[in-house]
């Protein structure tokens, strides 16, 4: 329910009546024009008052002060009511520092924050420029939009280098693919999102890495970067079959358990299956990762392979060849398994990134993609305030499974 409006005072009624008469207001546009004029006049009066305070005397007042007024300088500013001109008082010694509209300040409408918010939603610089002109009636060039969002780059760099916690019980690595223009050639780049569950059971995006080819060398550099930022231990690292990731984990974090992402494993399997059989095949696969023990899970995998072998001979090959990194999940209870094999932790984030893809079919550069990802991540993670469900149970079990590695 909206906030109830306070009764209008007689003073406000008199001001409105005077406005209606002074500006001959007949429409909503007339109100906008009147407010714009009043805003300009109010700023002008406040600037004059600031100059009086700065010099210590009123205009035309006799004084021994060697500094004095030295004319005015016209300045264009942007407001929520449109563009306007104000006359900024000057002083002979050039020591006047206005506060209501600071030197070099051109915008008093929070346009920069609005531009950044639109960029976070995936709008292109052209779309943002058009929207600002439609709403506020003044032009913001695509170059200016780019300049404003480029101010984020030091902030992004600082965020990418911020210190991390020493222990993360669970870490997920996932990839989202985007189209990026490079020397007039459109290429597909992967954005690798590293998401950690900290000891308090809260989600935390640790890093965003764009574009390089997957390899042991690449993943080792990514994991070493986490170490350099303070990460000393990861209990379980869950990822898809990223090339070279298994070998890199064994070098960077030799005690870390690598768990193949079950959801990706199922999706990759179903790519081989005709639509008419997908529901039944998916139900069969569920019996594997819901099995109470590894032995039973392996038996079910063998049985399902035999069942579908004739129709889909390649579908189950990756289960057999990757069983060593699929099977760690069987040692855990249902609560821990749910945290590992459900993708709720990262899917909400991915849905935010997919909206970027829908808004922008092609990003003009790697940098533009990084800015959009950072802003989208920042917006999404503002809502992350709760711990994971049943985290106390999960933490207790992990403390026993990985004795001595978690905080007491």
Evaluate whether 297 touches 361 at the Cβ level (below 8 Å). Answer: no
pLDDT in tens, 335-379: 999 888 766 667 778 788 888 888 778 888 888 888 889 888 888
The mean pLDDT of the chain is: 85
pLDDT in tens, 261-287: 998 899 999 999 999 999 999 999 999
Evaluate whether 76 touches 83 at the Cβ level (below 8 Å). Answer: yes
- Locate tokens 């993360």: which residue? 168
The residue among 250, 400, 253 whose CA lies nearest residue 336 is: 400
The residue among 210, 217, 203, 205 whose CA lies nearest residue 176 is: 210
**341-345: long-range pairs with CB below 8 Å, 24+:** 341/261, 341/262, 341/263, 341/289, 342/263, 343/174, 343/261, 343/263, 345/172, 345/195, 345/197, 345/203, 345/388
Assess whether pLDDT exceeds 80 at residue 33. no
pLDDT in tens, 204-239: 999 998 876 678 889 999 999 999 999 999 999 999
pLDDT band with cut points at 50, 70 and 90 for residue 382 = confident
C-alpha to C-alpha distance for 329 and 293, rounded to whole angstroms: 9
pTM: 0.72
- What pLDDT sits at residue 1? 44
Mean pLDDT value across residues 134-144: 66
Assess whether pLDDT exceeds 80 at residue 137. no
Which alpha helices (H) appear in 72-152, and where do they start and end? 111-120, 125-136, 142-150
CA of residue 273 relative to chain centroid, distance: 35
pLDDT-above-90 percentage for the chain: 40
């Amino acid at each position: 329910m909206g906030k109830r409006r306070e009764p209008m005072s007689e003073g406000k009624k008199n001001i409105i009546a005077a406005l209606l008469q002074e500006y001959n207001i007949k429409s909503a546009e007339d109100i906008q024009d009147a407010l714009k004029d009043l805003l300009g006049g109010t700023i002008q009066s406040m600037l004059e008052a600031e100059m009086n305070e700065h010099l210590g005397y009123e205009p035309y007042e006799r004084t021994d002060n060697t500094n004095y007024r030295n004319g005015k300088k016209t300045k264009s500013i942007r407001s929520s009511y449109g563009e306007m001109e104000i006359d900024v008082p000057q002083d002979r010694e050039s020591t006047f520092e206005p506060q209501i509209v600071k030197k070099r300040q051109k915008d008093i409408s929070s346009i920069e924050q609005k531009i950044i918010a639109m960029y976070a939603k995936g709008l292109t610089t052209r779309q943002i420029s058009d929207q600002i002109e439609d709403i506020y009636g003044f032009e913001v060039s695509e170059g200016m939009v780019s300049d404003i969002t480029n101010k984020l780059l030091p902030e992004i760099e600082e965020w990418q280098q911020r210190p991390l916690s020493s222990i993360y019980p669970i870490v997920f690595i996932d990839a989202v693919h985007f189209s990026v223009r490079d020397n007039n050639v459109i290429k597909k780049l992967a954005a690798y999102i590293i998401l950690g569950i900290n000891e308090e059971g809260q989600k935390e995006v640790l890093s965003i890495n764009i574009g390089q080819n997957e390899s042991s060398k690449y993943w080792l550099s990514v994991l070493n970067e986490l170490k350099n930022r303070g990460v000393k231990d990861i209990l379980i690292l869950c990822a898809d079959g990223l090339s070279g990731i298994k070998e890199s984990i064994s070098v960077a974090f030799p005690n870390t358990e690598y768990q193949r992402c079950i959801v990706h494993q199922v999706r990759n399997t179903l790519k081989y299956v005709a639509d008419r059989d997908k529901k039944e095949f998916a139900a069969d696969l569920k019996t594997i990762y819901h099995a109470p023990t590894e032995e039973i899970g392996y038996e079910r995998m063998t049985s399902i392979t035999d069942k579908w072998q004739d129709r889909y001979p390649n579908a189950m090959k990756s289960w057999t060849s990757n069983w060593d990194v699929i099977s760690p999940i069987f040692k855990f209870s249902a609560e821990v398994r749910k945290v590992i094999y459900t993708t709720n932790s990262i899917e909400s984030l991915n849905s935010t990134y997919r909206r970027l893809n829908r808004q922008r079919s092609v990003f003009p550069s790697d940098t533009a993609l990084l800015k959009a990802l950072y802003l989208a991540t920042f917006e999404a993670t503002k809502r992350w305030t709760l711990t994971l469900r049943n985290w106390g149970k999960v933490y207790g079990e992990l403390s026993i499974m990985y004795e001595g590695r978690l905080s007491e």
